Amino acid sequence: MASQPAGDESNRSLSQTLEAIETLWLTGVCPKELPGTADDQHRLSRLMENLRAMQEFTVALSRGDLAHSLKIKGLTAGSLKALQSNLRHLTWQAQMIAQGDFSQRVDFMGDFSEAFNSMVRSLAEARTLLEARAMELSKANDQLRTQLLEIQRLQAELREQAIRDPLTNLYNRRHMQETFEREIASAHRHGRTVAVIMMDIDHFKNLNDTHGHKAGDLMLQALADLLQRETRGYDVPCRYGGEEFVVVLSGATIDTAQRRAERLRSHFAELRLDFFGTVLQATVSAGVAVFPPHGETTDALLRAADQALYAAKSAGRNRVVLFGS
């Protein structure tokens, strides 16, 4: 049998080698049989193992696996390792940017570097703009909060003014009646007593006629101050009208109400007011009524206290009279 020329055999071996390398490169599958001598086969096998290792490394990079290792050396392997290192550093920079560090810049990836750096600059500018707007919103919120607090303060002031007598700063008649009705309803439910004292400054018209209305106002304010000092926090002192005042005493018995009224009367009689060098003094008469013996409604109790006050006036003034006594 005639032997084939050496050149043909060499060409066929080279073709088979290239086919094996191409198959590995395209499919990742290494042929079981390799062409050439044993030494050629060993060198080709090592080359194909290196190619397979670089192929697996490249696939890992494409999937974002930056922990994959490549243990071979060479220009191509070194370039792949450098790419992996750059991607790792880029990942770390992205994490820093996510934490707010917009000083990060890339200068090792060519055209990508400029695109990346442009993106970071845009993010930094956007953050600066957002911070400025957030500060503006914070200031606007502070202003709105201040305005809201001022509105709430004014509303509270208006509510207080609506229930206060402007001259004496005591509760007005409307608020007293509303509160008195609630106290009576509560006393009905819980079996408690409620007392009311109605008092009137004696000879008040003479005081006004002699010294003028400013002197009368001073006397009204003095009585109001006394009532605020001498009553408990849950009592309801009010200016009922003109020179008449009413105090609602929650839970007070007949004896307690009489003692409280007498104390107010005596303390007021001891007052001396300086009015432009003139000493003013006055007295009060008071009528006392208590729920439930003297009435079971606010109207009934106020009428009873008013009748007792009239009796105190008729008896000579400057005294306290209990209804029905």
Among candidate residues 98, 118, 135, the one where a domain is terminated: 98
**Tokens standing for residue 119:** 């993106």
| 200/298 same-domain check | yes
| 181/284 same-domain check | yes
Give the chain's domain count: 2
* Domain-embedded: residue 118: no
Residue-wise burial string across 241-275, b where 16 or more C-beta atoms lie within 10 A, e elsewhere: eebbbbbbbbbbebeebbebbeebbeebeeeeeee
Query: For residue 116, what is the enclosing H or E element?
Result: helix 111-162
Place of tokens 């008071």: 286
* Domain-embedded: residue 34: yes
| 185/312 same-domain check | yes
| 227/315 same-domain check | yes
- Tens digit of pLDDT per residue, the chain (325 long)? 445 555 565 566 667 666 666 666 566 565 656 555 566 667 777 777 888 888 889 889 889 899 999 888 888 888 888 889 888 988 899 899 889 898 889 887 788 888 989 999 999 999 999 999 999 999 999 999 999 999 999 999 888 888 999 999 999 999 999 999 999 999 999 999 999 999 999 999 999 999 999 999 999 999 999 999 999 888 999 999 999 999 999 999 999 999 999 999 999 999 999 999 999 999 999 999 999 999 999 999 999 999 999 999 999 999 999 999 8
Side-chain half-sphere of 29: how many Cα atoms within 13 Å? 6
Among candidate residues 47, 75, 98, the one where a domain is terminated: 98
* Domain-embedded: residue 191: yes
DSSP string covering 212-228:
-HHHHHHHHHHHHHHHH
| 94/191 same-domain check | no
196/179 Cα distance (integer angstroms): 12
Q: What is the pLDDT at residue 196?
A: 98
Q: What is the separation of C-alpha 251 from the centre of its chain, rounded to a whole number of angstroms?
A: 40
* Domain-embedded: residue 116: no
* Residue numbers annotated as active site: 243
| 181/90 same-domain check | no
* Domain-embedded: residue 12: yes
Among candidate residues 98, 126, 158, the one where a domain is terminated: 98
Q: Which CATH number belongs to the domain containing residue 259 in this structure?
A: 3.30.70.270
* Domain-embedded: residue 223: yes
* Domain-embedded: residue 164: no
| 187/306 same-domain check | yes
- What domain range includes position 70? 6-98
Q: What is the pLDDT at residue 1?
A: 44
Q: Which residues pair with 201 in a beta bridge?
A: 284
| 93/185 same-domain check | no
Query: For residue 197, what is the enclosing H or E element?
Result: strand 194-201
Burial of 289 (0-12, 13-18, 19+ CB in 10 A): buried
| 90/184 same-domain check | no
| 91/190 same-domain check | no
* Domain-embedded: residue 41: yes
286/249 Cα distance (integer angstroms): 14
* Whether the model pTM is above 0.85: no
